[in-house]
Every structure is written in structure tokens, then in C-alpha cells.
């Protein structure tokens, strides 16, 4: 278990599947996280189990909990590049009432610190799209910089949008936020 100021991060468990199934088929969540809506087919429960519990791909997913241990989102990484020690991060707060309350910033600081300190990555990348200003602002607060734009690389509800590419390096992140610590309780924070 990783602990931030507001959130906790733990492995995904079977009891999370119903909630993840709801979020995966939610219009607004899909719109902001990928711009993909409507989905050509809705996800089935088996696909969600496969994606989150069987983890067939090189993708690492974790559950994000609030102060009362309620599941509010997921966070994870993919595209591990071993020689470059780089990785691509993703985050979704599925409980919409938690948007804009600082949980995403706290989760990102906690999780990126974990990636740099515990996994020994050198660089964390991510991408979003130009209209997701809340996500861009959140990533900037954590220390990510805009490194480029792919012009009109996304097509969302009939309009082309730029993909926004962002990244943060280990040294600059640790200078801002410090390393992962083991608390007196024995927990990582």
C-alpha cells in the first residue's frame, strides 16, 4: 500500500471489478480519458476481468482509494522501455464527484515518486489532448512539462484535436517532491 496525503494506492482486487466495469462503459469518463465515444461495443465483464486482473499486456494497473478506503480511480503505467528506463503513465478518477478536489495531484505525486524511487525509472511520459485542460494543469502541477504536440492527431466528436505530449525526469521530480519514505508505521509514503 502506498499512501499520499489524501489517497492510497493498492493492487486491484476482485471486489473492484463491478465498479471498474461501470466506469469503463461511462460516456463522460471515456470522453475525457481518451475521447473515445461511443465505443463500438461496450466492454463485457469478462473483458474487464481480463484487463484488470489477468493483465495480459505489459501494463501495470493499481487501485486508488480515498481517505475512507473507497475506490475512486485507477492509476498505472505501460510501455516500459528498459534500456531508457522510461515508462508511460495513465490515470483516471472514475468517481466524478472527486474531480477537481486535489486527489489526482496527490495520486500522481505519490505514484510518480514510487516509479522513480522504487522502480528506478529515469523518465515518465504521458499524453492527453488539447481540450483536457484540467488534466494538463494537474500534470504541470506535479512537474510534467509539455514536450510537444501532435497536430490533429485525435478525432473527437467530429473535430480534430492536438495530442499533447508531456514528460518529467527523475532528478527534476525528486527536486520538487523528494523521495519515497518508509513511515514509522512501515508503510511507503
Binding site for ligand COA (CB under 6 A): 29, 32-33, 91-93, 99-105, 128, 132-135, 137-138, 141
CB of 112 vs ligand COA, minimal distance in Å: 13
- Nearest CB to ligand COA, comparing residues 68 and 185: 68
CB nearer to ligand COA: give 121 or 144.
Answer: 144
Do the strands 59-65 and 71-81 form a parallel or antiparallel pair, or are they unpaired? antiparallel
Comparing CB distances to ligand COA, the nearer of 48 and 91 is 91
Residue 56's CB is within 10 A of a number of other CB atoms, namely 7
Q: How far is the CB of 67 from ligand COA (least distance, A)?
A: 14
Q: Output the smallest distance, CB 28 to ligand COA, in A.
A: 8
Cα–Cα distance measured from residue 120 to residue 132, given in angstroms and rounded to the nearest whole number: 29
Q: Indicate the residue among 103 and 121 with the shorter CB distance to ligand COA.
A: 103
Smallest distance, ligand COA to C-beta of residue 83, A: 26
Rounded (5°) CA angle 11-13-14: 160
Q: Are 72 and 8 spatial neighbours (Cβ–Cβ below 8 Å)?
A: no
Residue 144 CB partners (closer than 8 Å, separation 6+): 124, 126, 166, 167, 168
Amino acid at each position: 500500500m502506498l499512501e499520499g496525503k489524501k489517497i492510497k494506492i493498492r493492487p486491484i482486487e476482485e471486489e473492484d471489478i463491478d465498479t471498474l466495469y461501470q466506469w469503463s462503459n461511462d460516456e463522460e469518463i471515456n470522453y475525457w480519458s481518451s475521447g473515445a465515444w461511443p465505443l463500438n461495443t461496450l466492454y463485457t465483464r469478462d473483458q474487464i476481468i481480463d484487463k484488470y486482473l489477468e493483465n495480459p499486456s505489459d501494463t501495470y494497473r493499481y487501485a486508488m482509494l480515498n481517505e475512507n478506503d473507497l475506490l475512486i480511480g485507477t492509476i498505472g503505467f505501460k510501455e516500459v522501455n528498459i534500456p531508457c528506463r522510461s515508462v508511460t503513465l495513465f490515470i483516471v478518477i472514475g468517481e466524478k464527484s472527486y474531480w477537481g478536489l486535489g486527489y489526482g495531484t496527490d495520486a500522481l505525486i505519490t505514484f510518480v515518486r514510487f516509479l522513480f524511487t522504487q522502480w528506478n525509472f529515469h523518465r515518465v511520459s504521458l499524453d492527453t489532448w488539447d481540450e483536457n485542460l484540467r488534466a494538463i494543469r494537474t500534470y504541470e502541477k506535479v512537474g510534467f512539462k509539455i514536450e510537444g504536440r501532435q497536430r490533429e492527431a485525435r478525432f473527437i466528436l467530429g473535430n480534430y484535436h492536438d495530442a499533447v505530449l508531456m514528460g518529467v525526469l527523475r532528478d527534476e521530480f525528486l527536486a520538487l517532491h523528494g523521495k519515497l519514505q518508509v513511515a514509522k508505521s512501515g508503510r511507503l509514503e
